[in-house]
Homo-oligomer: A and B are copies of this chain.
Amino acid sequence: MGHLHEDMREIAQCGLPSALEVMGERWSFMILRASFNGIRHFEDFQGQLGIARNILSNRLHRLVENGILKREPVPDDRRRVEYRLTEKGIDLLPTLVALRQWGEKYSARTQSSLTIVDARDRKPIAPIRLHAADGRPLRYEELDWEESEKVGK
């Protein structure tokens, strides 16, 4: 990817800024991570993340507004609400795992006590990396940019 260069004026059209508008803030990732852990109620997010209630309330609102979580009445007690991942939210798992793996690789802290595994063979999942359309893993040096029209995207 040495001779890679993208016209930075095009940045406003790429997916990154819109993703960062929603997720470019550490609490949003931590809330998402808690959701993947099965946390659904305001009090549980609050107690376990140790986040201030007003910030949590604001971030949950934004995540719902952006379609990452959905806010629904609890079936057994309709006065309470729960926050569940949408498909759009679940689609953030590769980003979350990639960021977590990077943090684990370079953090001086101890490893996480739990590891994400393939439920079938109980082996840890592979490190997230880039692959070609035919499945070959690609290194950074093997990448380049191409005009989207030419690749028929």
CA distance A18 to B103 in the complex (A): 6
Interface residues of A (CB under 8 A from B): 1, 3-21, 23-26, 29-30, 33-34, 36-39, 48-49, 67, 88, 90-107, 109-126, 128-136, 138, 140, 142-148, 150-151, 153
Chain copies in complex: 2
CA distance A129 to B125 in the complex (A): 11
Contact between B105 and A117 (Cβ–Cβ < 8 Å)?
A: no
Closest 5 CB pairs of A and B: A15-B103, A24-B26, A19-B103, A15-B104, A8-B48
Return the chain B residue nearest A135 by Cβ. B126
Contact partners of A23 in chain B: CB under 8 A: 99
